[in-house]
């Protein structure tokens, strides 16, 4: 389940030094050699997450979450990313629960 959340939640962020969700989805395509359908799911997750959190008090948690994913190595190991970014993931989930 965490892998699905990580995969679907690469979202568009308008922030200094924080990559966009679309760029993370494209990086996933290029670096991880994933199927187009997975990239499509990623981009759908971008739209859904963006609609949920942008313009709310959860933007900081959201930016920290995306930044963690973008900086995490190995980038293509979604389980490692999920584990390594667990604190940022939980902070974002907790914030979303207040919306």
Report residue 32's pLDDT band, with 50, 70 and 90 as the boundaries. Answer: very high
Cα 56 to Cα 72: distance, rounded to the nearest angstrom: 25
Using CA of residue 50, residue 55, residue 60, residue 61, what is the dihedral sign?
negative
Tell me the domain boundaries of the chain.
2-96
Residue 5 has a pLDDT of 47
pTM for the predicted model, two decimal places = 0.75
- Tens digit of pLDDT for each residue in 46-95? 888 888 888 899 989 988 988 898 888 998 998 898 899 999 999 999 99
Going by C-beta distance under 8 Å and a sequence separation of 6 or more, which residues neighbour residue 27? 19, 75
């Amino acid at each position: 389940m965490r892998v699905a959340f990580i995969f679907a939640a690469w979202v568009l962020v308008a922030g200094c030094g924080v990559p966009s969700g679309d760029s993370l989805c494209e990086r996933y395509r290029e670096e991880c050699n994933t199927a187009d359908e997975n990239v499509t799911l990623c981009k759908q997750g971008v739209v859904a997450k963006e609609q949920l959190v942008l313009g709310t008090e959860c933007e900081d948690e959201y930016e920290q979450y995306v930044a963690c994913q973008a900086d995490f190595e190995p980038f293509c190991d979604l389980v490692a990313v999920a584990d390594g970014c667990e604190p940022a993931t939980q902070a974002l989930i907790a914030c979303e629960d207040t919306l």
